[in-house]
Amino acid sequence: MAEKRMKRSIIGTVTSDKMDKTVVVESTRLVEVPLYQKKIRKRETHMAHDGKNECKVGDKVLIEESRPLSRQKRWMVKEIIQEKT
């Protein structure tokens, strides 16, 4: 029997909620460039499943890795951490 592995989770900001049951989440991280010892910001966008259409643009959310739900969706919104005021 195969072992269950830990699912990755990321905190990011919702940048688009125009699709039905899908949001685009942008996450940033600091990476150090070895040659110059300088830190730069890298950002990634992920499409995440939002079954109840609760997320709005600007919300801070926790997304978790899941099985492929469509061609581009491999993440699910686990919880809304902070709503945009």
Q: How far apart are CA 51 and CA 58, in angstroms?
A: 18
Is residue 21 a part of any domain in this protein?
Answer: yes
Q: Which residue has the tokens 């195969």?
A: 2
How many structural domains is the chain composed of?
Answer: 1
For residue 1, the model assigns a pLDDT of 66
Is residue 4 a part of any domain in this protein?
Answer: no
Reported pTM: 0.87
- Cross-strand bridge partners of residue 43: 28
Is residue 74 a part of any domain in this protein?
Answer: yes
Secondary structure (H, E, C), 50-71: CCCCCCCCCCEEEEEECCCCCC
For residue 67, the model assigns a pLDDT of 95
How many residues appear in the chain? 85
- Looking at the predicted structure, is the pLDDT value of residue 85 above 90? no
User: Per residue in 11-40, pLDDT tens?
Assistant: 999 999 999 999 999 999 999 999 999 999
CATH number of the domain where residue 75 is located: 2.40.50.140
Range of the domain at 73: 9-82
